[in-house]
Amino acid sequence: MTGMLASVSSVSEALLVLDAQVDIIDLKQPAAGALGALDIDVIRKIVEHCQGLRPVSATIGDLPMHPELIFNAVSSTAATGVDYIKIGIFPDGDALSTIEKLAVLTQQPLALVAVLFADQQPDFTLIDALKHAGFKGVMLDTMDKAKGPLTQIMPQTDIARFVRHAKERQLLCGLAGSLRLEDIAGLLPYQPDYLGFRGALCARHERVGLLDKAAVMRIKQAIGSRC
């Protein structure tokens, strides 16, 4: 069964999607990039307000693949008490060494989720390294939101291959990237664990705008009615 991940950037937005009973509350700063990070104090406040009622994930920011830099950012975010920490696998730096460095943290354990970018020639073979390093899951997203939704950037056969590859390795699997209401029906048959949304939840579909509860409920109902 596929769940809904909703990205929020404030306490008020987190409470809105909590009231809507979305499956994962994802914390990010849309104005700061594909995986822009919220201030650590804001993350901590949102975790406190959610009171464990829904899983909370948080991004560490659009950081280059420098092992020590990523390690420190993950450690700082972990201290806030979030359930999942999302790490973008960006094209600059050493992705494999970074993944190997983070294996130390998964022993604590921390639930780490890697994010691959469909518009940056993602290397699906890294999924094996993620599994070996103890990551909890992997998502497929887009870096440049102006290019359109995931479904227009990557062929459906490759999206299906990504989901299958992740599930065969028993990793949580999510799909995101400027997804729209009309993308849901085509993606659900692949059975990802989550579909992630931000822009489609906002007034006028502007991802840096405020969330609109009616839009949140439309997406949630579309996922629920087709599972």
Q: What is the residue type of 138?
A: V
Catalytic residue among 28, 136, 145, 220: 28
Residues in the chain: 227
Q: What is the pLDDT of residue 226?
A: 47
Write the pLDDT tens digit of every residue in 138-148. Answer: 999 999 988 99
- Dist CA 177 CA 25 (whole Å): 16
Contact 179/200 with Cβ under 8 angstroms?
yes
Instruction: Express each pLDDT in 66-112 by its tens digit.
Output: 999 999 999 999 999 999 999 999 988 999 999 999 999 998 889 99
Determine if the peptide bond prior to 109 is cis (ω within 30°).
Answer: yes
CB-count exposure of residue 37 (10 Å: 0-12, 13-18, 19+): buried
Across residues 148-170, what is the average pLDDT? Answer: 97
- Domain boundaries of the chain, sorted by first residue: 3-226
Which residues lie closer than 8 Å to 124 by C-beta, 6 or more apart? Answer: 116, 161, 162, 165
Q: Which pair of structure tokens corresponds to residue 178?
A: 């400027």
Catalytic: 28? Answer: yes
Catalytic residue among 45, 86, 145, 147: 86
pTM as predicted: 0.95
CATH superfamily of 3-226: Copper homeostasis (CutC) domain (3.20.20.380)
Report the pLDDT value the prediction gives residue 225, as an integer from 0 to 100.
Answer: 57
pLDDT digits (tens, 9 = 90+) for 112-124: 999 999 999 999 9
Please give the pLDDT value at position 209.
Answer: 83
Residue 227 has pLDDT above 50, yes or no: no
What does the mean pLDDT of the chain come to? Answer: 95
Query: What tens digit of pLDDT does each residue of 190-226 get?
Result: 999 999 999 999 987 787 889 999 999 999 999 985 4
